[in-house]
Amino acid sequence: MGMNMVGGFGVNVTDADVRGQADALVSSGMKALGYEYIIIDGVWEGKRDEKGFIHPNERLRNMKALADYVHSKGLKLGLYSSPGPKTCDPKLEGSLGHEEQDAQTYADWGIDYLKYDCCTFGDLTKGGKVLPFQAPNPDFDASADIAAYRKMGEALKKTGRPILYALCQYGMDRVWSWGASVGGNMWRTTIDFADTWDSLAAVGFGQNGLERFAEPGHWNDPDMLYMKGGMKIEEYRTQMSLWCLLAAPIIICNDLRKLSPEEMAILTNPEVVAVDQDLAGIQGHRVAQEGPLEVWMKPLADGSKAVGLFNRQYTLPPEEEPVYADRPVPITVYFRDIGVDETATVRDLWTRRDLGTFKDSYTAPVATHGVVMIKVR
């Protein structure tokens, strides 16, 4: 859990910006809930020197001192690179041919997290030819991709420093099936999230079926949480609920100091966050669906079940919406579907209140694009 700098600061991240976000992560109470990583995305790279060592740019000139500051707050610092010659910015250096050198540099700086993005990496098995990953390449061989990610995974391990290894491979070539084998701790399962309901519907609800590839230390990653105004508050609550049921990394892509009270409340509800961080480390899955109405369940370490009731009903633009479009729809979770005895107690995790004891099932009205998140025991 943590935050990525690029969403709130673009490509001009400075040393002061990173320190400010570290301070905000602590003062907001987010650190106490488990948010611990400050991740500088692909905007930190400077030039390589005559010996091939990478250096940060002028805005982030002393990475060791910056890491020391972040560590002094009880937090961790993350960086970004690529297995290709360049990153997603064609002017910035990737790690191709410098894997061990870069890994050791990161370790020497005190880096705790590496996001490794496949931008500019192509099929290296065809005479050393390198193509952008976006380019059509009918001869692409997934084994080269796997080998490239394994090379950096082994380089990180060789440093002796624990560095979380985040594979950003956009879900290509079933990365979830081999990510752990190359040393990955998490791997992107999708294209970039777009801060829209349509993206949430495709990316988030499309994670069903990947649960068997997740376990403690190895996580499916459906991308970051953007709170840029592209969705309504209720839709952001839906995304947070789903990500927590998925045991997904919770990486915020905002300037933490500019989050609204409503947005901060979504990110800091301790009972919802606890579902994501549950020690059993089990990824939830869909247990029932009736058209646009879905029920998802995540088993928890204490034997209870976290359940999300989701209403994905389609909506029209405001000027075209009929008056009944936003009426809540009742959604039922049947206890037999989640492996619970006939009688169970239910607690609402967003309102943080006990709802009582129920027999066989529980039903709640759920707003359009909304969620009711409960714990069933």
**CATH number for 46:** 3.20.20.70
pLDDT the model gives residue 56: 97
Contact 110, 64 (CB under 8 A): yes
**What domain range includes position 192?**
2-276
**Cα torsion 229, 230, 232, 235: sign:** negative
Distance CA(250)–CA(343), nearest Å, equals 33
User: Is 315 in the same domain as 189?
Assistant: no
Catalytic residue among 192, 341, 354, 360: 192
User: Is 269 in the same domain as 327?
Assistant: no
pLDDT the model gives residue 144: 83
Catalytic residue among 41, 102, 112, 117: 117
User: Is 235 in the same domain as 313?
Assistant: no
Average pLDDT over residues 53-59: 97
Name the domain boundary from 244, 276, 308.
Answer: 276
User: Is 9 in the same domain as 135?
Assistant: yes
Name the domain boundary from 228, 255, 276.
Answer: 276
Instruction: State pLDDT tens for residues 222-276.
Output: 999 999 999 999 999 999 999 999 999 999 999 999 999 999 999 999 999 999 9
> Over pLDDT 70: what percentage of the chain?
92
User: Is 183 in the same domain as 303?
Assistant: no
pLDDT the model gives residue 143: 86
Catalytic: 117?
yes
User: Is 270 in the same domain as 299?
Assistant: no
* pLDDT grade for 327, boundaries at 50, 70 and 90: confident
Contact 35, 250 (CB under 8 A): yes
User: Is 135 in the same domain as 183?
Assistant: yes
Amino acid at 38: I
User: Is 314 in the same domain as 263?
Assistant: no
Res 126 pLDDT > 60: no
User: Is 249 in the same domain as 322?
Assistant: no
* pLDDT grade for 127, boundaries at 50, 70 and 90: very low
pLDDT the model gives residue 130: 42
Domain count, the chain: 2
pLDDT the model gives residue 123: 40
Instruction: State pLDDT tens for residues 130-173.
Output: 444 444 444 556 788 899 999 999 999 999 999 999 999 999 88
How far is the CA of 290 from the CAs of 235, 286, 293, 311, in angstroms? 20, 11, 5, 10
Amino acid at 52: G
User: Is 244 in the same domain as 349?
Assistant: no
> Over pLDDT 90: what percentage of the chain?
84
The pTM of this model reads 0.93
H-assigned helices in the chain: 6-9, 15-27, 30-33, 63-72, 99-109, 142-159, 175-178, 197-199, 233-245, 261-267, 270-276
Residue 289 CA from chain centroid, whole number: 25
Burial class for 84, CB neighbours closer than 10 Å (0-12, 13-18, 19+): buried
pLDDT the model gives residue 154: 98
Strands 371-376 and 293-299, sheet pairing: unpaired
Instruction: State pLDDT tens for residues 341-358.
Output: 899 999 999 999 999 999
pLDDT the model gives residue 319: 65
User: Is 237 in the same domain as 106?
Assistant: yes
Contact 127, 78 (CB under 8 A): no
User: Is 20 in the same domain as 124?
Assistant: yes
Name the domain boundary from 276, 296, 313.
Answer: 276
Q: What rounded mean pLDDT belongs to the chain?
A: 92
Catalytic: 192?
yes
CATH number, domain containing residue 372: 2.60.40.1180
